[in-house]
């Protein structure tokens, strides 16, 4: 586990962006694992800018997102499908049939979870997985108590997670109570993981990731066991280290 401490969010986004570009520009068929939320937005803007400057092509890239809400249409402004299209995909020339998100509206959600797992395996697993860090230690939507052996599955969202995401909705009542997410073991099979942590509010969680015991009650702690994790964190997030 390597910690890269940067001054601010802008530097965090640029550093992470350069790690992504290194994979995209050197691998023949790079497979990226992508995250949503506010933390990766700067990273995605960096990638868009590099694309517009002609410094990278995404035509050969395959992407898999960590998760999607259950019950939202793909064009719902709060769906992660919509988020990814608006924040990244439609701006970088990537073929949309090479971008995958779990289908939260599948008739059989368990079958969709199995199919998603199989797609990742067929792609050769993920070369570089971007992660954010939940206040309760969730990675993807793997809430506290999720077994480390979990594969892609349906989850009941923790109330703290719903509260944290309520800012994107009109009210807490509109935040879905379920999601479909890559499992912890699926994430851990990624060849490299980049964990992005920004802001003083995440300082305690980051401290637990690095110095806490490995426990399923704080899912991100499992990253201590991965052979190739880079944590990119700004000064505010590092204040307890």
Catalytic residues: 67, 136, 138, 143
**Residues in the chain, total:** 241
Q: What is the per-residue DSSP string for 174-207?
A: GS-SEEEE--HHHHHTSS-EEEEE-SGGGHHHHH
Q: What is the DSSP letter of 42?
A: H
Q: What is the DSSP letter of 225?
A: G
What is the rounded CA–CA span in Å between residue 86 and residue 148?
32
What is the rounded CA–CA span in Å between residue 152 and residue 102?
9
Cβ contact 44:14 at 8 Å: no
């Amino acid at each position: 586990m390597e910690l890269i401490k940067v001054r601010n969010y802008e530097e965090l986004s640029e550093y992470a962006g350069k790690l992504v570009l290194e994979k995209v520009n050197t691998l023949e068929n790079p497979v990226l694992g992508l995250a949503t939320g506010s933390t990766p937005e700067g990273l995605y803007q960096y990638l868009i800018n590099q694309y517009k400057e002609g410094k990278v092509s995404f035509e050969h890239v395959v992407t898999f997102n960590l998760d999607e809400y259950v019950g939202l249409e793909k064009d719902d402004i709060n769906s992660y499908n919509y988020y990814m299209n608006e924040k990244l995909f439609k701006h970088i020339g990537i073929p949309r049939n090479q971008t995958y998100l779990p289908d939260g509206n599948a008739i059989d959600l368990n079958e969709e979870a199995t199919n998603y797992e199989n797609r990742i395996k067929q792609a050769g697993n993920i070369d570089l997985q971007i992660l954010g860090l939940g206040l309760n230690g969730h990675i993807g939507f793997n809430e506290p108590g999720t077994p480390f052996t979990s594969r892609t599955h349906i989850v009941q969202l923790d109330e703290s997670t719903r509260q944290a995401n309520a800012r994107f909705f009109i009210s807490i009542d509109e935040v879905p109570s379920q999601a479909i997410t890559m499992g912890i073991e699926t994430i851990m099979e990624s060849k490299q993981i980049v964990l992005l942590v920004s802001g003083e509010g995440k300082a305690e969680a980051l401290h637990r990731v690095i110095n806490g015991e490995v426990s399923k009650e704080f899912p991100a702690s499992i990253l201590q066991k991965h052979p190739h994790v880079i944590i990119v964190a700004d000064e505010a997030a590092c204040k307890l280290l």
